[in-house]
Amino acid sequence: MVSLKDAALLALGDELLSGIRREGNCTWMAARLHRAGWKVRGMEVLPDDTAASLAALRRWIGSVRLLVISGGLGPTHDDRTRDILAEFLGAPLVRDDATYDRMASRYCGDHREAFERSRSRQAAIPAGVESVYNPLGSALGMRFERQGTEVFSFPGVPAEYRAMADEALGARLTPEECWLSVSITGWAESLLKDRIADVLEDPLMHTSILPAANLVEVVLRGETDRIRAGEREIRERLPGDCLPAGCTTLQQAVVEAAIDRRMTVSAAESCTGGLVGAAITDVPGSSEVFPGSVICYDNRIKRQLLGVSPEILETNGAVSEACACAMAEGARRLLGADMAVSVTGVAGPGGGSAEKPVGTVWFAVSSARSGETKALLRKFAGDRAMIRERSRAKALELLWRGILGDTAWK
Amino acid sequence: MVSLKDAALLALGDELLSGIRREGNCTWMAARLHRAGWKVRGMEVLPDDTAASLAALRRWIGSVRLLVISGGLGPTHDDRTRDILAEFLGAPLVRDDATYDRMASRYCGDHREAFERSRSRQAAIPAGVESVYNPLGSALGMRFERQGTEVFSFPGVPAEYRAMADEALGARLTPEECWLSVSITGWAESLLKDRIADVLEDPLMHTSILPAANLVEVVLRGETDRIRAGEREIRERLPGDCLPAGCTTLQQAVVEAAIDRRMTVSAAESCTGGLVGAAITDVPGSSEVFPGSVICYDNRIKRQLLGVSPEILETNGAVSEACACAMAEGARRLLGADMAVSVTGVAGPGGGSAEKPVGTVWFAVSSARSGETKALLRKFAGDRAMIRERSRAKALELLWRGILGDTAWK
């Protein structure tokens, strides 16, 4: 029995089960399918093993409407997907030279030769199966239907998988109208759930909560009017904490707000060591608002470049309100920006003290327009990577609030 | 039939199948198990659905030695793992108040009250099952054996999962003696495979190849003498491209080499926007060698802070050999470092031209000791994120080679 919009996702590859290559194609596809109204019933990572893969195909084909397979299409003997599908279908492998020629014609010289060497494997598909053009690599994709299940097979290289899936799945991935999300910053997940419990428990909507560092995305699905009302209710109840519609990352909110207000922003990063700058410049178009910033890991740089006074460093220390303020002011002036955020803290594992344990982080935002600099202290739990990540996310929140002129920090 | 060291990994949670929360616990566990000599036969992500979960339990229990389940142990009705295990075992849920009291005693005030409110759900385990103490949260873990399979269940919160798994699995995760790896930089995976094909195909070892950005890790397993000889052979055949033993990231290699040679290093980042600094400061102890760096996204910053001449910016442009060299020299002087690397390129999606298409990136390394500055051009494929990531990894490679005095760049 096949439901209307049920799907399952498979990924093949021993390297995924040895744990160092992290499977990401299925998660990417699941997000696309979810937003297009599909229900993903399972994701499985399988070894390069014919019996295990056949067992999984037999379990899923005939029980979901859509099955998407990632990986196992390379040129080596470990890459068994086309053989496995041929065995499943009881069909011989044949070559689709026409499609392969189209792909090969993109290359010349050594690359073309390599393409030709792989032809006997990479151009092969089971007889009766449609091939899917690969715009980026040398492995053909595949598509067929059996027992009410539509099956797609794409290479595991993420860029190829995504490009081919977008093209081949087409309208199947079109987001449903009746879906929207609100991203909220500055709230712990549990406190936020209490604050908007009635909206989350509304029986006429389907809601999900997706927490990230200092950001919770609330996804609402249901009738258009209902979810719009739900979104309005959340925004009214959390004034100033909801990112604008369409914004799902803090860096995107920062860049959009700064573009909107024609402001430039900068940073002085100590314990985050570049994470804030990397996040902001992750946003296409950030060059319009972000001239650059300073990573001031050593106190000497805080002093020499940002003008933090030796007295502050000696008396208050680098992890202090005074130092955070001086860093933000220094960065704003040095970089010639309208606003700057600073981060200085103890990320660990070493460097903590009784007074300033690992996880102690000071932030400050300095504004040229108001002439004010405001600081905030946080004590984060977690290991070095978590403390740095949380610091990055908090700094971006404060910068965003600063751009909006919101000075009532929590 | 249960093999000696076979395992399977399950993760429960609708949020993992809606694709925005990416499953990571299974990959983490797979890496630990792999290095301890286990063969992971499958990883599955399941919905919060009793029937689907029971079907997976019935498939795996009795067919692998070890099954580790992530998630579904929270306090809400969506969290069904304990009920599902109780149903599988045909045992009623009972409360382990003794272990829960130990966990609750860590808290006071509001946190203690929240802990108490969750007791009726979170302290419950199926009768006859061992509970596993949670050092970080409020959900008990579980352990039991059935049909030759040892089953563990931990909360899905990554920090809790990892801490509890480390403690409860203990010796099962001890790496095997007969395992080692070599990380190699500067090689495309396919060319590297050709270069060391005979080592990789040695029938007396088990080898795997784990590629990351500008880094390929070759893992060798087998008899100690054999894999040591294999490692020696790889290192001899690729002089200067293998990171030191124990080093599995480029940033670790950079920091270790700089500590070893008592050198300080810095960076001037344009298109990577902080990724190089963030990577270096990811390494504990990096403060010893990394005073800080400059993110110079805007040409004005390249000019004002790093002293790139207006002539270079006008004539050659920001993405040019001359600009990369001036940036590296400027950063080295400004930050007072012994060596600095620079990155300047077109990350896209906009900003490309016929002469300098998206993906064009110039690097330079400037050394105070030799007085030399050397540049390199790369043209990367991929989207903005990939180009930035590849640029980060190339910059770290060049910095590492610079510290070692290796000037024969590929």
Q: What is the mean pLDDT of residues B356-380?
A: 96
* pLDDT level of residue A210 (50, 70, 90 thresholds): confident
Q: Three-state SS for B293?
A: strand
Contact B334 A305 (CB under 8 A): yes
| Closest chain B residue to the Cα of A267, Cα to Cα | B295
Amino acid letter, B16:
L
Q: Three-state SS for A207?
A: strand
Q: Which helix (H) or strand (E) holds B325?
A: helix B321-335
pLDDT of B325:
98
Closest to B223 in 3D by CA, of B171, B175, B172, B176: B176
Share the mean pLDDT of chain B.
Answer: 92
* pLDDT level of residue A2 (50, 70, 90 thresholds): very low
B236 Cβ contact partners less than 8 Å away, ≥ 6 residues apart = none
Query: Pick the residue with more confidence: A322 or A381?
Result: A322
pLDDT of A374:
96
CA distances to A207, A265, A314, A342, B278 from A270, rounded to whole Å, are 38, 17, 17, 8, 10
pLDDT of A382:
79
Amino acid letter, A31:
A
Overall fold of domain A250-404 = Maf protein (3.90.950)
Closest to A162 in 3D by CA, of B386, B116, B338, B348: B386
Query: Pick the residue with more confidence: B73 or A407?
Result: B73
State how far the Cα of B139 lies from the Cα of B130, in Å rounded to an integer.
14
* pLDDT level of residue A336 (50, 70, 90 thresholds): very high
pLDDT of B1:
38
* pLDDT level of residue B60 (50, 70, 90 thresholds): very high
Give the burial string for A344-367 (b: 16+ CB within 10 Å, else e).
bbbbbeebeeeebebbbbbbbbbb
What the block records as the tokens of A59 is: 């379990």
Long-range CB contact pairs, A357-362, < 8 A, 24+: A358/A387, A359/A387, A360/A319, A361/A271, A361/A319, A361/A387, A361/A390, A361/A391, A361/A394, A362/A319, A362/A320, A362/A321, A362/A323, A362/A324
Query: Pick the residue with more confidence: B174 or A149?
Result: A149
From the list B284, B293, B301, which residue is nearest A350 (CB)? B284
Test the B interface: residue of A1, A6, A27, A76 with most B CBs within 10 Å: A27
Contacts of B271 in chain A (CB under 8 A): 281
Enumerate the CATH 3.40.980.10 domain ranges in chain A, comma separated. Answer: 6-173
Amino acid letter, B271:
C
Of the candidate CATH numbers 1.10.287.3510, 3.20.20.70, 3.90.950.20, 3.30.70.2860, the domain formed by B179-237 belongs to: 3.30.70.2860
Which residues pair with residue A39 across a beta bridge?
Answer: A6
What percentage of chain B reaches a pLDDT higher than 90?
73
pTM of the model: 0.81
State pLDDT tens for residues A245-277: 989 999 999 999 999 999 999 999 999 999 999
Test the A interface: residue of B10, B45, B189, B387 with most A CBs within 10 Å: B45
Contacts of A21 in chain B (CB under 8 A): 210-211
Contact A28 B19 (CB under 8 A): yes
From the list B31, B209, B298, which residue is nearest A291 (CB)? B298
What the block records as the tokens of B247 is: 């080093």
Contacts of A219 in chain B (CB under 8 A): 18, 20
| Closest chain B residue to the Cα of A273, Cα to Cα | B278
Closest to A184 in 3D by CA, of A134, A132, A231: A231
pLDDT at A282 over 50: yes
CA distances to A298, A332, B336 from A304, rounded to whole Å, are 10, 15, 10
pLDDT at A34 over 90: no
pLDDT of A70:
97
From the list B292, B336, B388, which residue is nearest A297 (CB)? B292
State pLDDT tens for residues B179-228: 789 999 999 887 888 899 999 989 888 887 777 889 998 988 888 899 99
Contacts of B17 in chain A (CB under 8 A): 30, 34, 39-43
Enumerate the CATH 3.30.70.2860 domain ranges in chain B, comma separated. Answer: 179-237
CB-based contact B276:B343 (threshold 8 Å): yes
pLDDT at B151 over 90: yes
pLDDT at B246 over 60: yes
pLDDT at B44 over 70: yes
pLDDT at A1 over 70: no
Angle at A249 between CA A246 and CA A250, to 5 degrees: 115
pLDDT of B247:
94
Please give the CATH number for the structural domain made up of B6-173: 3.40.980.10
Which letter does DSSP use for residue A23 in this model? P
What would you report as the CA-atom Rg of chain B, rounded to the nearest whole angstrom? Answer: 26
From the list B19, B47, B382, which residue is nearest A27 (CB)? B19
CA distances to A326, A361, B109 from A357, rounded to whole Å, are 22, 10, 22
10 Å CB burial of residue A173 (0-12, 13-18, 19+) is middle
CA distances to A201, A373, B134, B152, B299 from A339, rounded to whole Å, are 40, 10, 43, 50, 19
Question: How many H-runs (helices) and E-runs (strands) does chain B carry?
Answer: 17, 16
State how far the Cα of B359 lies from the Cα of B382, in Å rounded to an integer.
8
From the list B209, B284, B296, which residue is nearest A292 (CB)? B296
State how far the Cα of B273 lies from the Cα of B296, in Å rounded to an integer.
8
Contacts of A386 in chain B (CB under 8 A): 159
pLDDT at B262 over 80: yes
Test the B interface: residue of A25, A76, A297 with most B CBs within 10 Å: A297
Phi, psi of B374 (to 5 degrees): -130, 140
From the list A42, A210, A292, which residue is nearest B295 (CB)? A292
pLDDT of B176:
65
pLDDT at A91 over 90: yes
Phi, psi of B63 (to 5 degrees): -120, -10
Contacts of B291 in chain A (CB under 8 A): 297-298, 300-301
Q: Spell out where B175-243 has E strands.
A: 179-185, 205-212, 215-222
What the block records as the tokens of B350 is: 């906009």
pLDDT of A293:
98
Q: What is the mean pLDDT of residues A275-292?
A: 97
Which residues pair with residue B70 across a beta bridge?
Answer: B11, B154
Separation in Å, CA of B299 to nearest CA in chain A: 8
Query: Pick the residue with more confidence: A74 or B366?
Result: B366
State pLDDT tens for residues B79-116: 899 999 999 999 999 999 999 999 988 877 777 887 88
What percentage of chain A reaches a pLDDT higher than 90?
73
pLDDT of A381:
83
pLDDT at B244 over 50: yes
pLDDT of A20:
65
pLDDT at A328 over 90: yes
pLDDT of B109:
75
State how far the Cα of B96 lies from the Cα of A225, in Å rounded to an integer.
46
Test the A interface: residue of B1, B27, B201, B219 with most A CBs within 10 Å: B27
Phi, psi of B321 (to 5 degrees): -60, -45
Query: Pick the residue with more confidence: A336 or A178?
Result: A336
Strand B66-70: give its sheet, edge to edge.
A130-132, A141-146, A149-154, A66-70, A6-12, A39-46, B39-46, B6-12, B66-70, B149-154, B141-146, B130-132
B301 Cβ contact partners less than 8 Å away, ≥ 6 residues apart = A291, A292, A335, B294, B295
What the block records as the tokens of B410 is: 């590929």
Separation in Å, CA of A319 to nearest CA in chain B: 15
pLDDT at A114 over 80: no
Contacts of A350 in chain B (CB under 8 A): 284-285
pLDDT of B177:
57
Contact A17 B275 (CB under 8 A): no
pLDDT of A177:
57
State pLDDT tens for residues A355-369: 999 999 999 999 999
Pairing between strand B141-146 and B149-154?
antiparallel
State pLDDT tens for residues A8-27: 999 999 889 987 678 899 99
In which residue are the tokens 């794409």 written? Answer: A154
pLDDT of A10:
98
Q: Which helix (H) or strand (E) holds B314?
A: helix B310-315
State pLDDT tens for residues A128-161: 999 999 988 888 999 999 999 999 999 998 888 9
From the list B20, B41, B297, which residue is nearest A290 (CB)? B297
A367 Cβ contact partners less than 8 Å away, ≥ 6 residues apart = A332, A338, A339, A373, A402
Enumerate the CATH 3.90.950.20 domain ranges in chain A, comma separated. Answer: 250-404
Contact B291 A278 (CB under 8 A): no
